[in-house]
């Protein structure tokens, strides 16, 4: 018993140290020699990329919004649509508003107008969109955020 106590007091033996060291996982780079790739800061072009025209963009997103089945799809399509460096056409926004009504997503319908307001360059452009979409807004009963909170400064 005393000899067992002395071994425990000395600490791990060299045999135990070797087995502990061998049991540790080693990084992949230490186990396998991988060739180092040369990284580039620009994308490699494999072929000719088709530039989408505004009309093609409009037709694509009108089709996307017409096929929306739930709020997730609606919001995903809106995020994709507003991610481009342009303001969507009123016909795209009308399709988005109809989709919001179809999936019964009132908050998203109101937020579409907030997105337009953030995306346009000046207040007169925003007013043009409001004028263009006013009949649809009235048909679908979609108020603006300014109408919901008249005292708030946005």
Question: Backbone dihedral region of 111: left (phi > 0), alpha (psi from -120 to 50 degrees) or beta?
Answer: alpha
Q: Which domains, from first to last, does the chain contain? A: 54-148 (1.25.40.40)
The percentage of the chain sitting over the pLDDT mark of 70, rounded to a whole number, equals 68
Average pLDDT over residues 23-49: 57
pLDDT of residue 37: 54
Cα–Cα distance, 90 to 127 (Å, whole number): 12
**Does the pLDDT at position 20 exceed 60?**
no
**DSSP-assigned letters across all residues of 21-57:** HHHSPPPHHHHS-PPPPPP-SSPPP-SPPPPPPHHHH
Q: What is the rounded distance in angstroms from the CA atom of residue 147 to the CA atom of residue 52?
A: 36
Q: What is the pLDDT of residue 137?
A: 96
Confidence of residue 44 (pLDDT cuts 50, 70, 90): low
Question: What are the pLDDT digits (tens) for 75-126?
Answer: 999 999 999 989 999 999 999 999 999 999 999 999 999 999 999 999 999 9
Tell me the residue length of the chain: 154
């Amino acid at each position: 018993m005393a000899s067992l106590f002395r071994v425990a007091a000395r600490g791990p033996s060299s045999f135990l140290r070797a087995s502990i060291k061998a049991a540790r996982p080693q990084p992949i780079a230490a186990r396998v020699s991988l060739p180092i790739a040369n990284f580039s800061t620009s994308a490699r072009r494999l072929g000719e990329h088709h530039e989408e025209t505004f009309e093609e963009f409009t037709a694509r997103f009108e089709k996307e919004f017409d096929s929306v089945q739930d709020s997730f799809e609606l919001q995903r399509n809106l995020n994709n649509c507003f991610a481009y460096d342009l303001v969507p056409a009123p016909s795209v926004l009308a399709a988005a508003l109809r989709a919001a009504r179809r999936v019964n997503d009132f908050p998203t319908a109101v937020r579409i107008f907030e997105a337009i307001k953030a995306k346009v360059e000046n207040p007169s452009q925003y007013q043009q969109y409001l004028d263009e979409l006013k009949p649809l807004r009235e048909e679908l009963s979609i108020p603006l955020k300014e109408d919901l909170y008249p005292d708030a400064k946005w």
